[in-house]
Amino acid sequence: MRRPPTFVELRRGKQGDGYRVVTITLFCLDGAMEKLRPCIAEFIGTFFLVLTVGCTVIPGAAGVIAPLAIGAVLMAMVYATGHISGAHLNPAVTLAVFVRGRCKAKDVIPYWVAQLVAGLAAAFVAVYLVGKNGTPMKITNASLVFVAEFLFTFALAFVVLNSATSKDTANNSFYGLAIGMTVMVGAFSVGSISGGAFNPAVAVGLVMMKLVHFANVWIHIVAELAGGLAAGLIFKVLNPTDK
């Protein structure tokens, strides 16, 4: 029988001609850690993405600072976690990758949980660091917000699928840059219309940081998941042989 990995072995006293070995098995990392690794990576990457959003948007960073910082940190975290979890860092992207066929059904919920918990944790840390909550944006036209979030979440997920999961672009070194720049462009383009979340984990964080009213967050979440779903379906249509 295979011996489980151990952390502590105590050698105590003589017993006959040898030593009696008392082995304390704290816990087995086989399997358990392997399952946790992707979720931990998703948590870390999503955490720093939402933290950067909060630390730049709450104080009202001037000019182009917020979109550039958010795009840059997403690019960095994609490169940092891509080899571990695929660097979804976004429930809508996870949905797109699942529809596309590169994420197992059993992994979808754990990824979502890790991403959403990271968004909540990062929101609390951002408020603590900045020292105040944000000012909620006023949404007067829900359809505009929905369309903006849908379009650029679709764009983000579409870029992820084609640059990071396609067999035709396998092993490239530009996927992180492409993904980060898509979010930056979206933030510049429609940030003033919808807040530029493009990510349910970011949307939840925005609520906790008081940057979006709780009553309005459903618009973001539904639009973003719809965008991810559409991107996954379109990818399959355009790449029928890429399974």
Q: Mind giving me the DSSP string for 82-133?
A: HHHH----SHHHHHHHHHHTSS-HHHHHHHHHHHHHHHHHHHHHHHHHHTS-
pTM: 0.87
Q: pLDDT tens string for the chain (243 positions)?
A: 444 454 444 445 455 555 454 444 444 455 677 789 999 999 999 999 999 999 999 998 767 899 999 999 999 999 999 999 999 999 999 999 999 999 999 999 999 999 999 999 999 999 999 999 999 999 999 999 999 999 999 999 999 999 999 999 999 999 999 999 999 999 999 999 999 999 999 999 999 999 999 999 999 999 999 999 999 999 999 999 988
Describe the crossing of helices 142-160 and 175-194 by its angle, rounded to 10 degrees.
180
Query: Which two tokens mark 143?
Result: 């359809």
Question: What are the distances in angstroms from CA 9 to CA 3, 6, 188, 202?
Answer: 13, 8, 58, 45
Q: Which CATH class is domain 34-238?
A: mainly alpha
SS3 label, residue 134: coil
Amino acid at residue number 38 = P
- What is the rounded distance in angstroms from the CA atom of residue 176 to the CA atom of residue 240? 24
Query: Which two tokens mark 95?
Result: 């949905």
Closest to 201 measured CA to CA, from 30, 52, 20: 52
Structural domain boundaries in the chain: 34-238
Q: What was the pLDDT predicted at 1? A: 44
SS3 label, residue 240: coil
Q: What was the pLDDT predicted at 31? A: 66
